[in-house]
């Protein structure tokens, strides 16, 4: 290696340049996203590196990805509205278009001041949902930004909070459980959910506390875009191991993640459709597999 080459590498190290490619974790909003509704309730700050969505009595707001994806590891940094947010729902989710929808949801259910915001997750496959799980977070999600991620590959769906898995949904098509396979867009929104979100819809939004403003960062998208070729070829490509989230290590949780996951279930889970005998006298077939992972 000659002197010029050494000097070039030294400069890269001094300035913290990532040789393998630029870090895309701090990209501008319009690189991958567009405003879908409530334009006048959306503010872009810090040269597009932060988006703020507001809800008042007139409207909420939402944005979505410019592309559809067929696999990926999707993330968003979120700081929720604070104080009295009863009836306010903030959502980060993946959703397909058309009928018989596939969907993967993070939904933050606001609450009265002094009571915890509830994080609800749900999984829809071919239009079938009703798989709600609710977690009482171990921190105040309105006090600071936290990172929420959704892993979706052909083997596993997992929801993460600050790197900790809080929910798993395995591919159990072999036992007749449908699994999300349709191309999905990434969506973020804040809206009026006071007909169901808080105390079963008994507690309504106090509009004197509005506007309710949630903040979002981290607009890079680690996903495989839907191709213009046939859907089968596109899906097979998006399941390929050339995408890091499809590699074998992401087919299941590792041992440490399993411990973290079980800890969340034991200490913080507030509701699980799998144990709701009033709704499901017979436990849904996927539940045992998703709760007790073996590796």
CB atoms within 10 A of CB 83: 12
Q: Which of the four pLDDT bands, split at 50, 70 and 90, describes residue 270?
A: very high
* Spatial distance between the Cα atoms of 224 and 238, rounded to a whole number of angstroms: 5
Question: Please, what is the average pLDDT of the chain?
Answer: 91
What's the rounded mean pLDDT across residues 264-274? 97
Q: What is the pLDDT of residue 230?
A: 57
Q: What is the pLDDT of residue 257?
A: 97
CB atoms within 10 A of CB 234: 18
Catalytic residue among 50, 70, 107, 185, which?
Answer: 107
207-216 confidence digits (pLDDT tens): 999 999 999 9
In a domain, 120, yes or no: yes
Q: What is the pLDDT of residue 228?
A: 63
pLDDT at residue 87 is higher than 80: yes
In a domain, 13, yes or no: no
Query: In CATH, what number is assigned to the domain containing residue 155?
Result: 2.60.120.200
Which segment of 18-22, 51-55, 60-64, 82-86 scores lowest on mean pLDDT? 18-22
pLDDT at residue 85 is higher than 70: yes
Size of the chain, expressed as the number of residues it contains: 295
The whole-model pTM stands at: 0.90
107 is catalytic: yes
In a domain, 90, yes or no: yes
In a domain, 5, yes or no: no
pLDDT at residue 10 is higher than 80: no
* Spatial distance between the Cα atoms of 205 and 210, rounded to a whole number of angstroms: 9
Q: What is the pLDDT of residue 19?
A: 31
Q: What is the pLDDT of residue 140?
A: 98
What's the rounded mean pLDDT across residues 109-128? 97
DSSP state string for the chain: --HHHHHHHHHHHHTT--TTS---TT--HHHHEEEEE-GGGEEEETTTTEEEEEE-SS--EEEEESS-EEEEEEEEEEE---S--TTEEEEEEEE-SSSS--EEEEEEE--STTSPPEEEEEEEBTTB----EEEE-SS-TTTS-EEEEEEE-SSEEEEEETTEEEEEEE--GGGT-----S-BEEEEEEEE-TTTSSGGGTSPP-GGGPPEEEEEE----EEEEPPSS-HHHHHHHHTSTTSGGGSGGGSS--HHHHHHHHHHHHHTEEEEGGG-TTT-SS--TTHHHHHS---
Domain count, the chain: 1
Domain that holds residue 173: 25-291
pLDDT at residue 14 is higher than 90: no
Catalytic residue among 50, 70, 103, 185, which?
Answer: 103
146-188 confidence digits (pLDDT tens): 999 999 999 999 999 999 999 999 999 999 999 999 999 999 9
266 is catalytic: no
Q: What is the pLDDT of residue 102?
A: 99
pLDDT at residue 292 is higher than 70: no
In a domain, 16, yes or no: no
Locate 127 and state its tokens: 């239009």
Q: What is the pLDDT of residue 24?
A: 45
In a domain, 96, yes or no: yes
Q: What is the pLDDT of residue 2?
A: 47
């Amino acid at each position: 290696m000659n002197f010029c080459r050494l000097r070039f590498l030294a400069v890269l190290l001094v300035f913290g340049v990532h040789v393998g490619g630029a870090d895309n974790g701090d990209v501008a909003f319009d690189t991958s996203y567009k405003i879908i509704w409530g334009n006048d309730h959306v503010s872009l700050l810090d040269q597009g590196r932060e988006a703020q969505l507001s809800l008042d009595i007139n409207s909420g707001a939402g944005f979505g990805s410019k592309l559809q994806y067929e696999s990926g590891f999707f993330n968003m940094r979120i700081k929720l509205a604070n104080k009295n947010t009863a009836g306010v729902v903030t959502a980060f989710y993946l959703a397909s278009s058309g009928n018989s929808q596939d969907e993967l949801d993070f939904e933050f259910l606001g609450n009265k001041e002094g009571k915890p915001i509830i994080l609800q997750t749900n999984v829809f496959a071919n239009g079938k949902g009703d798989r709600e799980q609710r977690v009482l977070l171990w921190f105040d999600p309105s006090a600071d930004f936290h990172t929420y991620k959704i892993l979706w590959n052909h083997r596993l769906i997992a929801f993460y909070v600050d790197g900790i898995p809080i929910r798993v949904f395995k591919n159990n098509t072999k036992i007749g459980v449908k699994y999300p396979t349709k191309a999905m867009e990434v969506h973020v929104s804040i809206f009026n959910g006071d007909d169901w979100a808080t105390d079963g819809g008994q507690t309504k939004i106090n509009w004197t506390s509005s506007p309710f403003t949630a903040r979002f960062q981290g607009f890079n998208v680690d996903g495989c875009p839907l191709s213009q070729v046939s859907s089968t070829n596109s899906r097979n490509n998006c399941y390929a191991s050339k995408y890091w989230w499809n590699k074998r290590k992401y087919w299941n949780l590792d041992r440490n993640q399993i411990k973290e996951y079980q800890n969340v279930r034991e200490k913080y889970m507030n509701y699980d459709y799998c144990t709701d005998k009033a709704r499901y006298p017979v436990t849904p077939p996927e539940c045992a597999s998703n709760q007790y992972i073996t590796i």
